Amino acid sequence: MEMEKTELKKNQIEIKQEIEGKNTEIYMKCFANKILIIISNTGKFGNVISAQKLEDENQEISTFSIDILLGNRNDIFPSVVARNLIEDITKNLNHSLLLFISVSFNSKDSFQKLIKTIIENKVW
């Protein structure tokens, strides 16, 4: 399976892609002030992460807040995914991110492929 993309409604996409031999489902929805992304190949929600850009007019570089609301705080990859996505989202929008992620792979290449797929098919 390569990639199967379904546009459900305006600003709402579902993607099914095989990563490391596992069917990985990605659901994205753009709300008025928030982007919701659900990623799973386990059938569960897994880690729940909130991410947002912190506004400070005195800073020349962007600062982001990544908060793990539920899940394994020692697993670094979900936070890295959230950080990459919130950076891309806030280039054009002042939206926060709510990310649900439960995947059974742990390789850098797999997470890079996942992030690339989301950014190439973004709803924001």
Is it the case that residue 16 has pLDDT exceeding 80? yes
Tally of domains in the chain: 1
Averaged over 21-43, what is the pLDDT? 97
Is it the case that residue 10 has pLDDT exceeding 90? no
In this structure, are residues 67 and 56 in contact, taking their beta carbons and an 8 Å threshold?
no
Compute how many other C-beta atoms are within 10 angstroms of the C-beta atom of residue 99: 25
Residue-level pLDDT at 1 = 61
pLDDT, tens digit, 9 for 90 and up, residues 108-121 = 999 999 999 999 99
Residue-level pLDDT at 58 = 74
Domain that holds residue 74: 3-120
Averaged over 2-16, what is the pLDDT? 92
Name the burial class of residue 27, with classes exposed (0-12), middle (13-18) and buried (19+) by CB atoms within 10 angstroms of its CB: middle
Residue-level pLDDT at 61 = 84
CATH of the domain at 81: 3.30.230.90
pLDDT, tens digit, 9 for 90 and up, residues 51-107 = 999 987 777 788 999 999 999 999 999 999 999 999 999 999 999 999 999 999 989
In the three-class reduction of DSSP (H, G, I as helix; E, B as strand; rest coil), residue 61 is classed as: coil
Residue-level pLDDT at 81 = 98
Of the given ranges (4-13, 30-39, 57-66, 67-76), which has the lowest mean pLDDT? 57-66
Residue-level pLDDT at 99 = 99
